[in-house]
A and B are shown apart, each in its own frame.
Chain A
Amino acid sequence: MDKILEIKNLSFGYDNKLILDNINFEINKGDYIGIVGPNGSGKSTLLKIILGLLKPTKGSIELFGQPVDSFKDWGKIGYVAQKAASFNTSFPATVEEVVAANLYPQLGLFKRIKKHHMERVYEVLELVGMKEYSKRLIGNLSGGQQQRVFIARTLVSSPQIIFLDEPTVGIDIQSQDSFYELLKNLNKNMHITIVMISHDIGVITEKANRVACMGEKKLIVHDMDSNIPITKILSQVYGEKMNLLHHHH
């Protein structure tokens, strides 16, 4: 199997406060991985380390077989941040301008965005069902629509893996359903690897093929095909009281 990400013996702390302790984790091509865990357990931190935004205290991270420090091919990697939808809503940018910005990995420094580059922009906007909103100001869209635009923005550079940090926060149930449908389509038909942080354990256990549970500075990875019930690991991470699995979707 093609390894996209390999984390070995990773430890990390903010100002000496240990957050992640000796984590090992692998992601293969085609995976749909859910990362769950209580608030403050270090999920977003782990993602930022993977993306090279934070430097680990110990351990190694390889993206597509290359150490993250020397990794250059950022177009292959998409990221939708936890706060992506909390941008300055009065910023005067249209949907197509926001999406076109991420053509950068293809274009490089100084090159101007031309008409023919925009075809790719409209293609991905079509894919996420936002093409007719191309000329609208991004601040005037609903939260769910903005989230789709941010997915389109990562898609425009043709990534092979997309990391999403709590992408459905503040989005109504119906839009969430079609959002998950979109992710499934990207994963199944376009073979894009998906890694999603979410508190919606019900959805995660249903959609993902592997679930990584963060807790007590450790990461426990569970294969959804295995015979061991995931509730065991979840109660280990969240404590016995957790009954979040009663989520009807």
Chain B
Amino acid sequence: MLEILSYGFMQRALLAGVIIGFLCPLMGIFIVLRRMSLIGDGLSHVALSGIAAGILLNVSPLGVTLTFSVIAALAIEKLRKSYEKYAELSISIIMSFGIGLAVILISLSKSISFDLFGYLFGNITTVLPSDLWVILGLGIVVIISTWLLYKELFYMAFDEEAALLSGVPVKGINLFFIVLIAVTITLSMRIVGILLVSSLMVLPVAASLQIAHSFKHAAFLSIIFSQTAVILGIIISYYFELASGGTIVLLAVLILVSVLLFKYLKNTAKKKNEQA
């Protein structure tokens, strides 16, 4: 255990992991309950084109990706108004655009494929010191924003019309929230990978919904599940030289299955007790 911590890159990976382990379920719980689960996938595909552009232009992919995904987030919000009844359509449009652009940018470069692999599936050895500062700084901004807007986000998730009627600035918060999602995806790409970040937003929440006694409890459990998957995932991927994103997401699936099993056993035990 101590051996791991003696490496600079592992310290950075774990620190970044803890931040991401907070961010993903925190965004995820509002995303899932508002039935916007696709949005993570949509934005991450745009992020992919940002990474490709960054590598191609030989600048830090983090900055380019952040710009790309925030613009995409704003575009999704804008399009959502044109397709009010088909909210997911606006996500599909942006996602298609993102993949198209990414493929073209990738094909323009010949040496891109190796670098790209880490971004797609997560690679703990790639968190640079400068990345860590961005992840820490922006990550804390996202966490504090969510903490401050907790009651508004909860009200909007439960009943958007009622929230609007009681004076919550629903439009502005929606816009701000989707930007927070874009930031979260960008910050998570080194550790979890673009293709898997959406899973880390959804899986811990899905597990927590099975056993939560309240919204607060659900938020708390999602964070616990996600931290378990991220920290264990990073350690395991170090020892077995696996892609960290895949390891983390498989652990999150394992947690979900255990929770389902636990609930099933508890219910059968309860039934037996009632019969006896």
Contact = CB atoms under 8 A, between A and B. Distances in A.
Given A79-B165, A101-B163, A137-B214, A91 B152 contact: no
B165 A74 contact: yes
Interface in B215-240: 215-218
Nearest to A81: B161
A191 B215 CA distance: 34
Interface in A37-63: 51, 53
Given A92-B209, A101-B155, A107-B151, A74 B215 contact: no
Interface stretch (A23-31, A109-117, A227-235): A109-117
B155 A104 contact: yes
A234 to B, nearest CB: 31
Size class of the contact patch on chain A: 20 to 34
A74 B167 contact: yes
A13 interface: no
B262 to A, nearest CB: 17
Contacts of B158: 87, 91, 93, 98, 101
B149 A90 contact: no
B227 to A, nearest CB: 19
Interface in B133-156: 148-152, 154-155
Given A53-B164, A91-B157, A112-B148, 10 more contacts: A53-B165, A87-B159, A92-B215, A94-B213, A101-B159, A104-B152, A104-B163, A135-B213, A137-B213, A137-B214
7 contacts: A77-B165, A79-B162, A92-B215, A93-B214, A97-B154, A98-B158, A101-B151
A-B pairs with lowest CB-CB distance, top 9: A101-B155, A92-B212, A92-B218, A94-B214, A74-B167, A104-B166, A93-B215, A110-B148, A97-B215
Interface of A: 51, 53, 72, 74-75, 77, 79, 81, 84, 87-88, 90-94, 97-98, 100-105, 107, 109-113, 135, 137, 153, 157
